[in-house]
């Protein structure tokens, strides 16, 4: 019996070892097929900049506002809102649709302070995880309720737009937008693409301060675009990430949207407070869809909330409190509007200084487009090879498409930047 027991114990030991080996083999194979994700072209620029020990390094890659000393900015209006919030409010869950007060104030910025659409409750709107979250939520809504549709996206556009609609499994096409030779808008080709798209197509439009080009249609061109959308029955989805940040006037920056509203379109809008309130890390924004009537708006909002539920359940509270506190108080809102204009004016001033410095250096190229363009970014026209030289020889970091973040330029580095740009482009 002792020998039998010994044999059984040995067999059990072998069984356990084999089982462990099988479990180990099975577990290690679960993720063997996973390949490293490609680096984000924008965030990768910052990583390289931070790793560079050079004291002369300059980062004009990332779209985040800096003051004239190159430091991040927290607006006074935001600080005051946070002071009022601190210790006075709880941190309970928001509803799936987010802060009702924040959404109400946000709609006024886009649709107008006295909008009839707000008054008639025709807008389905929810708080979103900034502009990215609003775009993704709409893309999923489009896929669920218009499953056979596709989205027309400008060429070029913010790179994440393609990621968002791709992951929502919405087919994409591009339409002409930027004209490389003039470094302006390719309006005739854009209009041809609108006319040639199938009736009832979805189009993604940048409401203002187009990213990455800084090229916007004129008011008259927006009217022509709106008219042609009406003829074709297209749906316009506006991504408005820079309201107030482009011209310094939120109403002026919403002109494209107001034109479409005046012409009777039903539109969708993504709004973000990352840039115009500096709430980059708070991830606060809004998605809205203009509907036929109040009943339809209630229905659409219920479905937007249903989509949000398995994604993130409900949005964060702190940023929403900051926004609603600022926009809900006349004095704080007045201060915020003043601060928005200061930021926009500084960027406009940097455009002028960069162009003047390049022209003083005797550059053989025209740099008029620097001041013609608007918003945070300048589409410089530099080639990837020229951008590589800027990084290698001058420690200047930007995306390889030549996009310059004007917010990264200040009076201390604008001369150095201009000299470097002149050196790598003068032979062109």
Q: Report how many domains make up the chain.
A: 2
Task: Give the Cα-Cα-Cα angle 97, 239, 333 (nearest 5 degrees).
Answer: 70
| Alpha-carbon torsion (312, 273, 253, 172), positive or negative | negative
In whole angstroms, give the CA distance from residue 402 to residue 172: 24
Q: Same domain, yes or no, for 58 and 106?
A: no
Three-class SS state of 235:
strand
Q: Same domain, yes or no, for 306 and 388?
A: no
For strands 202-206 and 235-240, give the pairing.
parallel
Query: What does the pLDDT read at residue 127?
Result: 98
Q: Same domain, yes or no, for 350 and 416?
A: yes
Give the single-character DSSP code of 93: P
Domain end point (choices 328, 361, 395): 328
335 belongs to a structural domain? no
In whole angstroms, give the CA distance from residue 401 to residue 246: 21
Domain end point (choices 298, 328, 358): 328
Please, how many CA atoms are within 13 Å of residue 101, restricted to the half-sphere of its CB?
Answer: 14
| 271 neighbors 288 (Cβ within 8 angstroms) | yes
Q: Same domain, yes or no, for 99 and 224?
A: yes
**Pure H helices in 187-254:** 187-196, 219-232, 250-253
- pTM of the entire structure? 0.91
11 belongs to a structural domain? no
Q: Is 329 a catalytic residue?
A: no
186 belongs to a structural domain? yes
Three-class SS state of 355:
helix
Q: Same domain, yes or no, for 180 and 255?
A: yes
Pick the closest to residue 357 from 281, 302, 414 (CA basis).
414
Burial class (CB in 10 A: 0-12, 13-18, 19+), 104: middle
Give the single-character DSSP code of 282: G
| 138 neighbors 237 (Cβ within 8 angstroms) | yes
14 belongs to a structural domain? no
In whole angstroms, give the CA distance from residue 386 to residue 388: 5
Please, how many CA atoms are within 13 Å of residue 206, restricted to the half-sphere of its CB?
Answer: 27
Query: What does the pLDDT read at residue 22?
Result: 46
Q: What is the pLDDT of residues 256-302, one digit of tens each?
A: 999 999 999 999 999 999 999 999 999 999 999 999 999 999 999 99
Q: What is the pLDDT of residues 16-59, one digit of tens each?
A: 554 545 444 455 689 999 999 988 877 889 899 999 999 999 99
Query: What does the pLDDT read at residue 87?
Result: 84
Pick the closest to residue 63 from 421, 382, 379 (CA basis).
379
Q: Same domain, yes or no, for 221 and 270?
A: yes
What's phi and psi for 118, nearest 5 deg?
Answer: -70, -45
Q: Same domain, yes or no, for 278 and 373?
A: no
Q: Diameter of the chain by CA atoms?
A: 101
- Tell me the average pLDDT of the chain: 93
Q: Same domain, yes or no, for 154 and 286?
A: yes
Query: What does the pLDDT read at residue 204?
Result: 98
Query: What does the pLDDT read at residue 40?
Result: 81
From the list 140, 143, 158, 183, the catalytic residue is: 158
> For the chain, give me the number of helices (H) and strands (E)?
17, 13
226 belongs to a structural domain? yes
From the list 222, 239, 255, 336, the catalytic residue is: 239
Q: Same domain, yes or no, for 197 and 317?
A: yes
Q: Is 275 a catalytic residue?
A: yes
In whole angstroms, give the CA distance from residue 403 to residue 411: 19
Query: For the domain that residue 373 is a member of, what is the CATH number?
Result: 3.90.1150.10
From the list 143, 183, 255, 275, the catalytic residue is: 275
115 belongs to a structural domain? yes
Q: Same domain, yes or no, for 57 and 100?
A: no
In whole angstroms, give the CA distance from residue 4 to residue 45: 69
Q: Is 158 a catalytic residue?
A: yes
Query: What does the pLDDT read at residue 8?
Result: 52
Query: For the domain that residue 317 is a member of, what is the CATH number?
Result: 3.40.640.10
102 belongs to a structural domain? yes
Per-residue pLDDT in tens (0 to 9) along the chain, 428 residues: 555 455 555 555 545 554 545 444 455 689 999 999 988 877 889 899 999 999 999 999 988 899 988 899 999 999 999 999 998 888 899 999 999 999 999 999 999 999 999 999 999 999 999 999 999 999 999 999 999 999 999 999 999 999 999 999 999 999 999 999 999 999 999 999 999 999 999 999 999 999 999 999 999 999 999 999 999 999 999 999 999 999 999 999 999 999 999 999 999 999 999 999 999 999 999 999 999 999 999 999 999 999 999 999 999 999 999 999 999 999 999 999 999 999 999 999 999 999 999 999 999 999 999 999 999 999 999 999 999 999 999 999 999 999 999 999 999 999 999 999 999 999 87
In whole angstroms, give the CA distance from residue 163 to residue 43: 15
Beta bridge partners of 59: 397
Domain end point (choices 328, 361, 391): 328
Query: What does the pLDDT read at residue 21?
Result: 52
In whole angstroms, give the CA distance from residue 226 to residue 205: 11
Pick the closest to residue 399 from 273, 148, 213, 256 (CA basis).
213
Instruction: Please report, for residues 211, 220, 224, 384, 392, the alpha-carbon distance to residue 247 in angstroms, rounded to integers and kept in the order given.
Output: 15, 17, 22, 29, 34
Q: What is the domain extent for residue 177?
A: 94-328
Q: Same domain, yes or no, for 270 and 413?
A: no
| 149 neighbors 155 (Cβ within 8 angstroms) | no
Pick the closest to residue 328 from 75, 91, 84, 73 (CA basis).
84
Pick the closest to residue 138 from 228, 204, 93, 201 (CA basis).
204
Q: Same domain, yes or no, for 197 and 305?
A: yes
Percent helix, strand, coil in the chain, to 5, is: 50, 15, 35
232 belongs to a structural domain? yes
């Amino acid at each position: 019996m002792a020998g039998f027991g010994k044999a059984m114990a040995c067999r059990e030991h072998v069984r356990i070892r084999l089982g462990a080996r099988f479990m180990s083999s099975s577990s290690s194979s679960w993720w063997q097929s996973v390949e490293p994700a490609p680096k984000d072209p924008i965030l990768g620029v910052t990583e390289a900049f931070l790793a560079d020990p050079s004291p002369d390094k300059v980062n004009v890659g990332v779209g985040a506002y800096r003051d004239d000393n190159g430091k991040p900015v927290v607006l006074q209006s935001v600080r005051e809102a946070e002071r009022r919030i601190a210790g006075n409010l709880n941190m309970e869950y928001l509803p799936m649709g987010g802060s009702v007060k924040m959404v109400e104030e946000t709609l006024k910025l886009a649709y107008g302070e006295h909008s009839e659409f707000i008054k008639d409750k025709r807008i389905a709107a929810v708080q979103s995880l900034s502009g990215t979250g609003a775009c993704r939520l709409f893309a999923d809504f489009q896929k669920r309720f218009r499953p056979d549709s596709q989205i027309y996206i400008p060429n070029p556009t913010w790179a994440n737009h393609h990621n968002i609609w791709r992951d929502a499994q919405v087919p994409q096409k591009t339409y002409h937008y930027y004209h490389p030779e003039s470094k302006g808008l390719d309006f005739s080709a854009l209009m041809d693409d609108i006319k040639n798209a199938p009736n009832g197509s979805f189009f993604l439009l940048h409401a203002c301060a187009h990213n990455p080009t800084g090229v916007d249609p004129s008011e008259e061109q927006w009217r022509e675009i709106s008219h042609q959308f009406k003829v074709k029955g297209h749906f316009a989805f506006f991504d408005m990430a820079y309201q107030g940040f482009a011209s310094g006037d939120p109403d002026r920056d919403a002109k494209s949207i107001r034109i479409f509203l005046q012409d009777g379109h039903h539109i969708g809008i993504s709004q973000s407070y990352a840039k115009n309130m500096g709430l980059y890390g708070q991830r606060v924004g809004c998605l809205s869809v203009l509907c036929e009537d109040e009943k339809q708006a209630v229905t659409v909002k219920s479905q937007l909330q249903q989509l949000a539920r398995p994604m993130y359940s409900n949005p964060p509270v702190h940023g929403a409190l900051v926004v609603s506190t600022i926009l809900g108080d006349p004095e704080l809102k007045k201060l915020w509007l003043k601060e928005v204009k200061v930021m926009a004016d500084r960027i406009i001033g940097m455009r002028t200084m960069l162009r003047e410095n390049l022209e003083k250096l005797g550059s053989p190229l025209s740099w008029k487009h620097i001041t013609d363009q608007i918003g945070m970014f300048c589409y410089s026209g530099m080639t990837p090879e020229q951008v590589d030289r800027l990084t290698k020889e001058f420690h200047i970091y930007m995306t390889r498409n030549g996009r310059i973040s004007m917010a990264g330029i200040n009076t201390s580095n604008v001369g150095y930047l201009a000299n470097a740009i002149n050196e790598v482009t003068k032979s062109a």
